[in-house]
Amino acid sequence: MAPFKRLNLWRTAATASAGLVAALALGSSPSHAHRPGTVVQASAGDTGRGFMTLPLWRGAAVPDEFLVKATPGNCRRHIQATYIWDESANWVRLRLRGHGVLEALPSIERTEGVDYFPNPFWPEPEDFEDGRYQFWTIAGTDVTTFYYSAVTLELLGSEWDFETAPEAAIPVELPTFSALPTPFFQPDENGNVDVTFEYEYDQMLRGDLPEFAHTLGSFIPHTLCKTDPFRYDRTSTRPYATTLPASEAKSFREFLRNGLVFDLTIEPPSYHAWPPLTTMAGVYSNAAAVAGNVPLGWSVDFEAVFAGLAPPIRRFPTADTCVDYFKPKRDRDFDVCAPPPGGAP
């Protein structure tokens, strides 16, 4: 490969050399690149040709209603994610590596009303055993029309749920993200991970089911009653997701240009919904959209991001312990449909 024209390089490990960065990007495996605890952050190139490598930490990017499981090594180990891409050759390669970072065949146990809230717009199992892992590349790429009942003000669905707009519906345009998964994988007997996946640059399809493209998702009001159009901090939101057909696939350029977020989820042994979605449970994550990425023990503050406030990160609530963490359901007191205090006049 010819030298890249633009270079942006930074590292959090003092021992990380230029040779190590190149090895991580190009997929070679020098022995020191596998040393546990080595953390590398680097990128080079542009949207047409380049590479990026960064660590994934437990709890670095956690949405509402998401369960973050405790991880091996007192929750302080990381998975190194490396992308390398070439638009002219039409490929994107992704490599995930980590030492003692995962438990094989993971289980999820939740309690309804505590850390699990059934959701018709994002169905998932409450509990399962003998699970598997799936890695997601995520970017905020679109604005989608959602429909609300003009009578009840409840969410009916999005433009992807109806062939034509439903009658007596209120259309609302809201930002949505695209989330593209890898095939499923498991760690080895020591909890180590070293897996590589490849996509076509111009048509990013699901690694496990190429008849589908990305999952389109968002965290939106499920009722306009609890929506303040001027203040996100007073608005109640819940997850929404639907998986799109291969004909709707995006290019990797569209992902790169819209700020990347990464998530490693824990999935049931078989698909729960069809077309398949993802669970709201996982382990490691990060966000390249945050300058310098999110460091160990910190997490993206999505409320600050959506409100345009700084800083965009804050301490992860269980950064100093190693226990499961559930980010609460976003349910605010604001309700324009509620009767006034003291009842109707």
Rounded to 5 degrees, φ, ψ at 305 are: -60, -50
What pLDDT score was predicted for residue 36?
56
What pLDDT score was predicted for residue 267?
98
Is 199 contained in some domain? yes
**Number of alpha helices (DSSP H) and beta strands (DSSP E) in the chain:** 3, 17
Is 1 contained in some domain? no
Is 88 contained in some domain? no
CA proximity to 336, closest of 238, 229, 209, 207? 229
Q: How far apart (Å, rounded) are the C-alpha atoms in residues 127 and 111?
A: 9
What pLDDT score was predicted for residue 35?
59
Helix (H, G, I), strand (E, B) or coil at 271: coil
What pLDDT score was predicted for residue 20?
42
334 in Cβ contact with 228 (< 8 Å): yes
> Which pLDDT tens digit goes with each residue over 81-90?
999 999 999 9
Cα→Cα distances 22→16, 34, 42, 70, 296, Å: 10, 14, 9, 31, 23
What pLDDT score was predicted for residue 289?
84
* One-letter amino acid for residue 322 of the chain: C
What pLDDT score was predicted for residue 54?
97
* One-letter amino acid for residue 163 of the chain: E
Range of the domain at 120: 59-76+104-326
Is 216 contained in some domain? yes
CB atoms within 10 A of CB 326: 19
Extract the tokens encoding 344. Answer: 């109707």
What pLDDT score was predicted for residue 340?
80
Q: Please, is 166 exposed, middle or buried when counting C-beta atoms within 10 Å of its C-beta (0-12, 13-18, 19+)? A: middle
Is 201 contained in some domain? yes
List, for the chain, all residue ranges whose pLDDT scores fall below the cut of 50: 1-34
> Which pLDDT tens digit goes with each residue over 143-170?
999 999 999 999 999 999 999 999 999 9
What's the mean pLDDT when you consider all of the chain? 90
| Count of structural domains within the chain | 1
Exposure of 275 in the CB half-sphere (CA atoms within 13 A):
18
Rounded to 5 degrees, φ, ψ at 265 are: -105, 160
Sequence-distant (6+) residues with CB within 8 A of 70 are 58, 322, 323, 324
Query: Euclidean distance between the first and final Cα of the chain, in Å?
Result: 75
Length of the chain: 345
Q: How far apart (Å, rounded) are the C-alpha atoms in residues 282 and 115?
A: 13
What pLDDT score was predicted for residue 310?
83
